[in-house]
Amino acid sequence: GESVGLHLPTLSVQEGDNSIINCAYSNSASDYFIWYKQESGKGPQFIIDIRSNMDKRQGQRVTVLLNKTVKHLSLQIAATQPGDSAVYFCAENRDDKIIFGKGTRLHILP
Amino acid sequence: DSGVTQTPKHLITATGQRVTLRCSPRSGDLSVYWYQQSLDQGLQFLIQYYNGEERAKGNILERFSAQQFPDLHSELNLSSLELGDSALYFCASSFYRLAGVDTQYFGPGTRLTVL
């Protein structure tokens, strides 16, 4: 079922290529950032997180980069696969609440 | 499977009615969070309970209330329902009291349709 907004930015990537999804945050006091993946009809699924004392963190096929100077967060997915097709949300810990961004839809081209 | 369960999966009701959504957190988790996901608002934090007590509030309407029981399951009560309350409602859980300490794991959600 439909679970995300109508006006999401969409990133289309060729299968096998790397994907980079970007996110800007506004609160320089935010100290914890998370990326979630949401497939159609499902709840958000944790991918990777990073604390503000780091600028890079790697997981399996995913890397999160944090640039505190410009308040920018990115998620890199290596060798994108059809199963990566989903909406990706960045979230930040702001005032002890997790605040979600609007999301980016990742579309995989065959 | 995150380990968080929510019931029911779907709920269809009429304006003015009251419904209750149920969430069971992952085994061992003490915090439960409720979120609303609508088409025009994205994922919005509603409320958090920790070990039976309300800990943080977000954009929760006065018509909505929640509680967490001694067995740590939680219920979200929505009353005087309006068309605009139609949305997906997610529950998430974590172990710690503070939101930014550990990861929140989400349930599959309850889709509420108000006719």
The 10s digit of each residue's pLDDT in A30-54 is 999 999 999 998 999 999 999 999 9
Does the pLDDT at position A5 exceed 50? no
The pLDDT of residue A6 is 45
Average pLDDT for residues B75-97, to the nearest whole number? Answer: 96
Mutate to test the interface with A, among B7, B38, B43 (most CBs of A within 10 A): B43
Q: Is A59 on the interface with B (CB under 8 A)?
A: no
User: SS3 breakdown of chain B: % helix, strand, coil, rounded to 5?
Assistant: 5, 50, 45
Q: Is B9 on the interface with A (CB under 8 A)?
A: no
Q: Is B50 on the interface with A (CB under 8 A)?
A: no
The pLDDT of residue B88 is 96
Nearest to A33 by CA among A58, A66, A4: A66
Using CB atoms, which residue from B2, B42, B45 is nearest to A43?
A: B2
Nearest chain A alpha carbon to B86: A3
Least confident of A53-57, B25-29, B99-103: B99-103
The pLDDT of residue B89 is 98
Average pLDDT for residues A4-8, to the nearest whole number? Answer: 51
Q: How far is A102 from chain B (nearest CA, A)?
A: 6
Integer CA distances (angstroms), B76 to A56, B48, B73, B89, in order? 37, 11, 10, 9
Residue B39 pLDDT grade (very low, low, confident, very high; cuts 50, 70, 90): confident
- CB–CB contact B109 A93 (8 Å): no
Q: Which residue has the higher pLDDT, B42 or B11?
A: B11
- CB–CB contact A3 B109 (8 Å): yes
Average pLDDT for residues B66-80, to the nearest whole number? Answer: 98
The pLDDT of residue A36 is 96
Average pLDDT for residues A47-75, to the nearest whole number? Answer: 95
- What are the chain A neighbours of B48 within 8 Å (beta carbons)? 97
Instruction: State how far the Cα of A23 lies from the Cα of A103, in Å rounded to an integer.
Output: 9
Q: A72-98, pLDDT tens digit by residue?
A: 999 999 999 999 999 999 999 888 889
Q: B43-65, pLDDT tens digit by residue?
A: 999 999 999 999 999 989 999 99
Average pLDDT across chain A, whole number: 90
Angle, vertex CA B52, rays to CA B50 and CA B57, nearest 5: 55
Average pLDDT across chain B, whole number: 95
- CB–CB contact B108 A43 (8 Å): yes
Does the pLDDT at position B80 exceed 70? yes
Residue A83: strand, helix, or coil: helix
The pLDDT of residue A81 is 96
The pLDDT of residue A7 is 60
Q: How far is A47 from chain B (nearest CA, A)?
A: 10
